[in-house]
């Protein structure tokens, strides 16, 4: 289920080594049985793993394209289409740590059985496929990027979006989406998994509005308490709950998110 809402963001605090500051002009999210912004905000104050709901209907998308979109792509696009109007013509960053491992597993099984790969299945398995379908559907020629960076995927996506802002983009659409790992890969999971996505329309900080900053906080920390949420969902919780700070141990560094104002 998707939801839309609005919030804005950022300012650089004096004396801080800030890697990026940004504002969230609008947002949407999809997951579980959360149907509206208030439900998401309530979840943010008492978070938990989301139960898997039925695939999003995606009524905004042309039927001929929609029928090709797999479940994870539908989840990502539900948030992308759910963000309030005004997103066409601005750069878009799609980010997912693992992508569609279920589809990958099916293709590996086909290869192991000596069967030919379906060009359609392969084409829809790559990280940039979902964003490309949106661009085609919206006839939107704006810059599109797809990103995956291990435990730092959310942070790298935000830095990429902020780099586009610094390069002159008025706003950037950032879409993050994730699903549980396919069963054979579960032993390698280092965080819980659940099907979810969120979308932020971000811009430069505005005077008088709340702001977020993202900075390096040192070298990678050793594993501590086991996470209760997938990191991408925990970042959304941080934004919605109004927390002052969130720390995350990435692949090679520790990251600190802060709210200002």
DSSP assignments along 12-40, one per residue: PPTT---SEEEEEEEEEEE-TT--SHHHH
**Cβ(27)–Cβ(36) below 8 Å:** no
Strand partners, 219: 253
Task: Give pLDDT, residue 35.
Answer: 78
**Cβ(42)–Cβ(237) below 8 Å:** no
Task: Give pLDDT, residue 207.
Answer: 87
Instruction: Please count the CA atoms within 13 angstroms of the CA of 179 that sit on its side-chain side.
Output: 20
Check the CA dihedral 87-91-95-99 and report its sign.
positive
Task: Give pLDDT, residue 23.
Answer: 96
Query: What whole-number distance in Å separates Cα of residue 228 and Cα of residue 207?
Result: 35
Q: Are strands 211-219 and 253-260 parallel, antiparallel or unpaired?
A: antiparallel
Domains of the chain plus CATH, in order, are 2-260 (3.40.47.10)
Task: Give pLDDT, residue 14.
Answer: 38
Mean pLDDT by 10 residues, the chain (261 residues): 38 51 95 89 93 89 92 94 82 95 90 87 84 93 94 96 95 96 93 95 90 86 76 96 93 92 80
**Tokens linked to 173:** 């659409």
Query: What whole-number distance in Å separates Cα of residue 218 and Cα of residue 19?
Result: 12
Phi, psi (degrees; rounded to nearest 5) at 125 = -90, -20
Phi, psi (degrees; rounded to nearest 5) at 209 = -110, 160
**Cβ(211)–Cβ(247) below 8 Å:** no
Query: What whole-number distance in Å separates Cα of residue 8 and Cα of residue 206?
Result: 8
Q: Which residue has the tokens 């084409």?
A: 123
Strand partners, 197: 30, 177
**Tokens linked to 186:** 């579960």
Task: Give pLDDT, residue 17.
Answer: 53
């Amino acid at each position: 289920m998707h939801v839309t809402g609005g919030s804005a963001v950022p300012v650089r605090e004096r004396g801080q080594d800030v890697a990026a500051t940004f504002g969230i002009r609008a947002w949407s999210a999809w997951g579980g049985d959360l149907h509206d912004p208030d439900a998401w905000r309530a979840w943010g104050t008492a978070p938990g793993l989301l139960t898997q709901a039925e695939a999003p209907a995606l009524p905004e998308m042309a039927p001929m394209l929609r029928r090709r979109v797999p479940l994870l792509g539908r989840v990502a696009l539900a948030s992308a289409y759910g963000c309030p109007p005004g997103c066409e013509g601005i750069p878009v960053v799609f980010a997912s740590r693992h992508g569609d491992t279920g589809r990958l597993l099916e293709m590996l099984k086909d290869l192991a059985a000596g069967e030919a790969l379906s060009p359609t299945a392969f084409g829809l398995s790559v990280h940039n496929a979902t964003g490309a379908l949106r661009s085609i559907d919206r006839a939107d020629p704006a810059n599109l990027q797809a990103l995956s960076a291990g435990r730092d995927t959310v942070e790298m996506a935000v830095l990429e979006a902020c780099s586009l802002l610094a390069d002159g983009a008025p706003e950037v659409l950032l879409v993050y989406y994730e699903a549980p790992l396919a069963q054979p890969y579960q032993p390698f999971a280092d965080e819980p998994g659940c099907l979810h996505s969120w979308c932020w329309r971000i811009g430069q900080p505005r005077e008088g509005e709340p702001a977020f900053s993202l900075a390096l906080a040192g070298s990678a920390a050793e594993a501590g308490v086991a996470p209760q949420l997938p990191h991408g969902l925990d970042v959304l919780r941080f934004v919605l709950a109004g927390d002052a700070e969130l720390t995350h141990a990435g692949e090679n560094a520790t990251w600190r998110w802060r709210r200002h104002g």
